[in-house]
Amino acid sequence: MPLALSRGPLQRFIFRVRSELPDYGMPMKTSPRTSLTAALLLAFLSVALSSTAQAPVSASPENAAEDASVLRAFAALHPIDVHVHVFKTNPQFQAMLERLNLKLLNILVMDDTLSYRKQLQKQIDDAQALVQSSHGHVALCTTFDPYKFDSPSFTADAIKQIDRDFAQGAVAVKIWKNIGMEIKNSAGQYIMADDPKFEPIYQDIASHGKTLMTHQAEPDVAWGPPDAADPSWSYYQENPQWYVANRPGFPSKQKILDARDHVLANHPNLRMVGVHLGSMERDLDNIARHLDQYPNFAIDTAARMDYLMLMPPEKLRAFLIRYQDRVLYGTDLDLPPEADFSDALKDFQSTYARDWKFLATSAPLSVNGKPIHGLNLPRSVLEKIYRTNALHWIPGL
């Protein structure tokens, strides 16, 4: 299809490139600023003008025909969504996976506040059945039961169980925010990810060549004042148990992430994917420092695309190009046992379409009522974010 880039967004982009250099530009630190600006402009123009990755799209998310064309471009990459929570399937859901050439990494979480997610073995059995019926479209990221932390055989039991899950095809292990923010040890202290009881588990995961997915801490707003403008604020209104501001004695976000970083430092052979932008959702510089410091660390985008959309676009685009081998596409879409399939199908497809418009096109979009435009990332970068990084960081997918 012909490229019909609107002149407005392109000109606005060029204006911003001129007026504000990104912090993650090309490695030309010694060049004069004018050369760098010119190089960025040339790089952008060459990408924009040579792109055949996608058809142009309009701002209207209701336009199903446009979404279908966007989803065809998405499907052409054989994308992998490394972060979903799916607990059932039906022929329509399977057909969507096949139509989109889509692979899902289905992540298990132990959550003692939800009756279904309290049951580890039931989740594993259901998830393995889903993997079997998916014809290669779903893989499993298992977990272990951290609520059994005080059991004398906790570590050994966890290793035995995840080894069994590996033998049955699981490709990764997840730890969740209840480590750091909910579960306490017998001394009444919140357990942290770097607790010695977890060390043999991490060693075991690394020795099997598997990947650890870590959701540690929460967005900043969970520790801060109420902020209706924050993309996660509605979550805390619905889940006040995770809103921890003004709780005396509650661990700081920094303490929880420091424990996560100790695991990275202590296990250089363990590949870790920090989900939800590694819980550094408002600070690209901090993410960059982590990626520089820990070669065994990557991040996923799950449930944090709105934060990315609110960032300065030139800086974000430069970041994604510079760290193009370290970012994995994920959504956090879910299909719980009680969900309605037709709602879920709409939800999955509209999310994939919106995210593709943002990352792969220069389409005008809106986030929190704010007009933005897509990043129009180079095709080679999109291939990494949407597929090959997942294969590299989570072998077996």
What minimum distance in Å lies between the beta carbon of 9 and Zn ion? 32
Q: Which is nearer to Zn ion, 165 or 332 (CB)?
A: 332
What minimum distance in Å lies between the beta carbon of 334 and Zn ion? 7
Q: Which is nearer to Zn ion, 108 or 318 (CB)?
A: 108
What minimum distance in Å lies between the beta carbon of 12 and Zn ion? 34
What minimum distance in Å lies between the beta carbon of 250 and Zn ion? 22
- For 2, 7, 84, 184, 233, the CA distances from 225, given in Å and listed in that order, are 48, 40, 29, 25, 10
Nearest residue to the partner Zn ion, using Cβ: 332
Tell me if 113 sits within 8 A of 241, measured CB to CB.
yes
Q: Which is nearer to Zn ion, 67 or 300 (CB)?
A: 300
Q: Which is nearer to Zn ion, 204 or 332 (CB)?
A: 332
Q: Which is nearer to Zn ion, 44 or 176 (CB)?
A: 176
Tell me if 147 sits within 8 A of 110, measured CB to CB.
yes
What minimum distance in Å lies between the beta carbon of 109 and Zn ion? 7
Q: H/E/C letters for each residue in 304-373?
A: CHHHHHCCCHHHHHHHHHHCCCCEECCCCEEECCCCCHHHHHHHHHHHHHHHHHHHHCCCEEEECCEEEE
Select the span of 179-187, 224-232, 329-337, 341-349 touching Zn ion (CB under 5 A): 329-337
For Zn ion, what does the binding mask look like between residues 190 and 229, x meaning CB under 5 A?
A: ----------------------------------------
CA distance 122 to 198: 23
Select the span of 68-76, 226-234, 238-246, 328-336 touching Zn ion (CB under 5 A): 328-336
Count of residues touching Zn ion (by CB under 5 A): 1
* Contact pick of 165, 230, 332, 355 for Zn ion (by CB under 5 A): 332
Select the span of 114-122, 182-190, 327-335, 374-382 touching Zn ion (CB under 5 A): 327-335
Q: 303, 274, 304: which is closest to 289 by C-alpha?
A: 274
Our finding on whether 281 is near Zn ion (CB under 5 A) is: no
What minimum distance in Å lies between the beta carbon of 107 and Zn ion? 6
CA distance 85 to 109: 9
Q: Which is nearer to Zn ion, 218 or 261 (CB)?
A: 218
Two structure tokens written together for 83: 């972060």
Please report how many Cα atoms fall inside a 13 Å half-sphere around the Cα of residue 177, on the Cβ side: 18
Q: Which is nearer to Zn ion, 165 or 300 (CB)?
A: 300
Radius of gyration of the chain (CA): 21
CA distance 180 to 145: 14
Neighbours of 233 (CB within 10 A): 17
Interface residues toward Zn ion, by CB under 5 A: 332
